[in-house]
Structure 1
Amino acid sequence: MEPPTHTSGRHDIRALARLLEQPVRAGRNPPQKFVWHTSVRNHITDRILSDSQWAHIASEIVAAVGIAPHGDPDAVRWVAVRHADDHIHIVATLVRQDGETVWAWNERLKAQNAARDLEQRYGLYQVGPVDHTSHRRPTSAEQNKSHRQGRPEIPRDRLRREVRAAAAAADDENDFFSRLQNAGVLVRLRHSTIKPDEVTGYAVGLPDHHSNAGDTVWYSGGRLAPDLTLPQIRQRWDSGLGAHPHRAARRPGAAQRAEVFRRATAAADRSARLLAEDQCGDGDDIGSLASAAADLLTSTALAFEGRKGGSVTDASETFDRATREPSRQLPRHPHPATGQLRSMSRLIAATGRLTSENDTAAALQLILRISMIADNLANLREAQDRLHQARAARQAADSLRTIAANAPTAPAGVRAGAVPAPATPERGQPRGRLA
């Protein structure tokens, strides 16, 4: 059934298309859009599969989706096209050979579940189940618009970073909104319809980001990341700030800046050991500890790189993904050490940008300790079978160690790869993936 090749080197698919479309032309009230298409791609680390193996994978996918069940002679017609070693395309027409139309309801989830099973059966790179902890990525329309306008950063990404930084540094709700406005972010509050004085949510935008109609493009906190809704952020402020949260927000002098980072390093070191010692303990408590460490890294990244971001900011974004809870709810019973980490996050945010080698050296030591937290969090996520978050934590830990080791002002014992080892041994990594 492989289409013949023209002298130009292109395939002539007209005969194959006619075969696929025959049931559609003979069907009873066929749909206007009758083609179903998906691609299945292996991870770059996977071995090359044979044609027969790819054929089996394709048949399992269309059966799982429900358009061509195993053993059904009247199922839809479909074809799998392999034009590269690492992936195939599956194309089906959605009219069965008995004339009835079939709809691939909820096909994305079904195909993903089938892919997870095939990953294990073929020993491929395992992606892991969907955990709903990832933030929304910019759409192609957002990316194209930002490119046309010559923006250095997509508005959604910039707003997420600004909101995370403000939440990590703020003492309370008023401080949070004030910090956003001071950063040049527009803020729109949503009020309760029952209690007009009660704020139930918020949205943010940029002064120069408009729709085609000229209106400001607004993003609610939940559209930026699952943990940036107002109820989620409020729980951060209620999770143990210490006895005097506002006292931590006072700006220390230049001479105190290195001492602030040393105190934060000591707190992070204790938290890393708690994570290592309590791998099988109360998951909620451990989750709150990791979330507070993410805020600490966010404030540290701002002190390092400012609002334009950089490698530390990128690592903090990755680590933040690893700390989110799938339930979209922060732990009800935060770990006792959470309050100290959050207070140190606010204090670092108050110090401003780093100005000397002493400041930077102390901050690099803090980054190393947070890399230990990320390693131990990765162990926990692997034990919880949250593979996406485990890999995010590993990636963040590796990035942070690389940053500290390669920094021009790295302290003695940090350069040349002399970085702290994880407090617990790493587990073996899965091998391959079907996406």
Structure 2
Amino acid sequence: MGGLLRYLFGPGKREEHVRPRVVAAWDGSGPLDALQPPERSGGWHDVRGLTNLLEQPVRAGFRAPSAPVWHASIRNHPTDRILSDAQWAHIAAEVIAAVGLAPHGDVDAVRWVAVRHNDDHVHVVATLVRQDRRTVWPWQDKRKAQAACRDLEQRYGLYRVAPPGKGSRRWPSPAELNKAARLRTASSSTRPGRETGRAGRGVAPRERLRRRVREAAAVATDERDFFARLAQAGVRVKLRRGTRDPEQVTGYAVGLDGHRTATGDTVWYGGGRLAPDLTLPQLRSRWTETPPTGRGGNAARVAATGIVPPDVSRRAAETVRDAHEAMRAASSPLVASAIASAAADLLTATATAWEGREGGPLSDAADWFDRAAHDLHGRASARRVSQASHLRAMARLIAATGTVSRDRDTVAALHLVFTVAALAESLADLRKAQDRLHQARAARHAAGHLPLYHPPAGTADARTPDARAARPPTPDPPSLDRRGRQR
């Protein structure tokens, strides 16, 4: 407790703590002025008195836990207004009551304080021993605290955080991120003059694998093609076979060369550990959806022959436009989700063809679009949604081209990007109507940044009309936490 309070009332790691103060405390604590740690000469705060008050129940408790401190930081969004100390005090009291540590009206609850040393957040610090000497064991405190924050966002008119499209992906753990950062540092120290590229900027292996697996899944025609594309992308694959029938493949795991455990074994990730829709059964459901005849069927047959026509971008733009009209006219959200999912595959294939395996801004936009397109409740089969089959067939055709013909397809390529951006806007409207705000913001982020994308190097920009001016840029999305998730 003492070390934590010294940090909260200290200057901070980068002198970012400004006027630290207690803004709220437990019932019966008395005036807040009496709890404020006195400031000594030199600017440091003496927290010994406050530490002693908070630790008194712990010293007197029955079998006090070895780790008796509970600590949470409550932060609002950068776009929110600055709240007063009284407002932050109310927020802190609501959160700590919601998690069950200090329910309203319980005078024997734990002792706690809320410390504010910045405009945008407070720290809530409590001990886990009640004043009646009983220990409190928090249960699902994270979920309860987040639920309380969602309610407080509405009551105060703050930036609303919606569930982040539950199940859209599996996020790297802090240990994975720390390991990626260490490997990046070691690589830069041994090869200081070498550019690391996008894949070497401390990106966790789980994220790199998820992107490569999704790129292969977006354009694969069957199981054999999928695993072959993974091998071409430098991904190691381990198949899982059935216990009753060893010839039957029931799943797969992927890994990267050089990403090993302390004992030297490859770190494997099953498809479900990357994203729920990347499990082998989910991928097989894609491959069994045979495209109907028409533009999509022709595209699939052309892609299979390996003979690529010169007007791929124009044909893809027409396919996206037709799919956009069908999505806006769809009477069922499942149909719209099927079209959006197939459009995500098309954008992923386009980004891979234009930017390569290292990725770029178009790959980032495709990643945001994929988050918005994910549907928790499933989607209609592509057998019943011809536009979805057409989009996936065009994705395979674009993948077959490898790269776009630079001078000839510049205008058509830009038109393809703009049509996908328009579809992303409609997807954002759909997600907003479904009250899935996180995915709506992801779709608007993709829609706002797609028109700002510059064609690949070597295109005839001087002869390309500046269509970007016709579409105002969309503001940046919410800030991200260390895992890349929206706050």
| TM-score where L is the length of structure 1 | 0.91
Answering whether residue 269 of structure 2 is matched by residue 219 of structure 1, we say yes
Match of 1:85 in 2: 119
Partner of 1:65: 99
Match of 2:159 among 125, 135, 143: 125
CA drift at 1:82:
0.5
Other-structure match for 2:347: 297
1:9 match = 43
Question: What pairs up with 1:34-433 in 2 under 5 angstroms?
Answer: 34-149=68-183, 150=187, 151-152=200-201, 153-242=203-292, 245=300, 247-253=302-308, 256-257=309-310, 259-278=311-330, 281-327=331-377, 329-332=378-381, 334-403=384-453, 409=460, 412-419=464-471
When residues 104 and 332 of structure 1 are mapped into structure 2, their CA distance, relative to the original with a 3 A threshold, is: farther
Q: For 1:6 and 1:382, how far apart are their aligned partners in 2?
A: 53
Residue 420 of structure 1 deviates from its aligned partner by 9.9
C-alpha displacement of 1:340: 0.5
SS of aligned partner of 2:67: coil
CA contact (8 A) 1:162 1:180 kept: yes
Residue 130 (structure 1) shift = 4.9
The CA deviation at 1:369 is 0.7
- The total of aligned residue pairs comes to 420
Residues 275-302 of structure 1 show CA distances to partners (whole Å, capped at 9, x for unaligned) of 2233xx2111110100000000011001
- Residues in 2 aligned to 1:19 and 1:293: alpha-carbon distance in whole angstroms: 59
Q: How far off its partner does 1:141 sit?
A: 2.7
Q: Which residue identity lines up with residue 277 of structure 1 in the other structure?
A: A
The one-character-per-residue Cα deviations of 1:177-197 (angstroms, maximum 9, x if unpaired) are: 011011111001112223322
Alpha-carbon contact 1:166-1:180 (below 8 Å) kept = yes
Q: Could you tell me how far apart the structure 2 residues matched to 1:211 and 1:284 are? A: 42
Cα deviation digits, residues 335-389 of structure 1 (max 9, x gap): 2211111111011101112242223332221111111111000000000000110
- Alignment partners' CA distance in 2, 1:123 and 1:35: 31
Greater CA drift, 362-371 or 127-136: 127-136
The code of the aligned residue for 2:363 comes to: T
1:405 to 1:354, Cα distance in 2 relative to 1, 3 A: closer
Q: What is the deviation of 1:248?
A: 2.8
Instruction: Give the unaligned 5+ runs of structure 2.
Output: 1-34, 188-199, 479-485
Distance 2:421 2:52 in 1: 58
TM-score (normalised: structure 2): 0.81
Contact 1:405/1:414 (8 A) holds in 2: no
Return the alpha-carbon distance in structure 2 between the equivalents of residues 147 and 29 of structure 1.
Answer: 40
Measure, in 1, the Cα distance between the counterparts of 2:344 and 2:460: 23
Work out whether residues 218 and 395 of structure 2, in 8 Å CA contact, stay in contact via their aligned partners in 1: yes
SS of 1:63 mapped into structure 2: helix
Shift in Å, 1:246 = 5.5
CA distance in 1, matches of 2:114, 2:404: 56
- Work out whether residues 240 and 338 of structure 1, in 8 Å CA contact, stay in contact via their aligned partners in 2: no
Deviations 1:364-415 (A, max 9, x none): 2111111111100000000000011000000000110111599864574443
Q: Distance in 1 between matches of 2:268 and 2:468?
A: 46
Letter of the 2:223 counterpart = E
| Cα distance in structure 2, aligned partners of 1:406 and 1:194 | 50
What is the rounded CA distance, in whole Å, between the counterparts of 1:324 and 1:134 in structure 2? 6
Residue 105 of structure 1, CA deviation: 0.5
- The letter of the residue matching 2:428 is A
The 3 A distance-change label for structure 1 pair 331 and 195 is farther
Relative to structure 1, is the Cα distance of residues 109 and 409 closer, same or farther in structure 2, using a 3 angstrom cutoff?
Answer: farther
Distance 1:287 1:351 in 2: 27
**Counterpart residue identity of residue 162, structure 1:** R
User: 1:401 is aligned with what amino acid?
Assistant: P
Structure 1: 5+ residue runs without aligned partners? none
Percent of aligned pairs with the same amino acid:
53
Contact in 1 for aligned 2:292/2:386 (Cα 8 Å): no
Structure-1 separation of matches of 2:252 and 2:163: 31
Could you tell me how far apart the structure 2 residues matched to 1:303 and 1:90 are? 49
Q: 2 CA distance for matches of 1:420 and 1:271? A: 24
Q: Distance in 2 between matches of 1:98 and 1:208?
A: 55
If asked which structure has higher relative contact order (CA below 8 Å, sep 6+), I would say 1
Letter in 2 for 1:192: G
Q: Which amino acid aligns with 1:249?
A: A
Deviations 1:53-85 (A, max 9, x none): 000000000111111111111111111110100
Offset of 1:208 from its aligned partner? 1.6
- Distance in 1 of aligned mates of 2:126 and 2:49: 15
User: In structure 1, what is the equivalent of residue 16 of structure 2?
Assistant: none
AA of the residue aligned to 2:380 = P
Q: CA contact under 8 A between 2:327 and 2:335: conserved in structure 1?
A: no
Paired residue type of 1:20: L
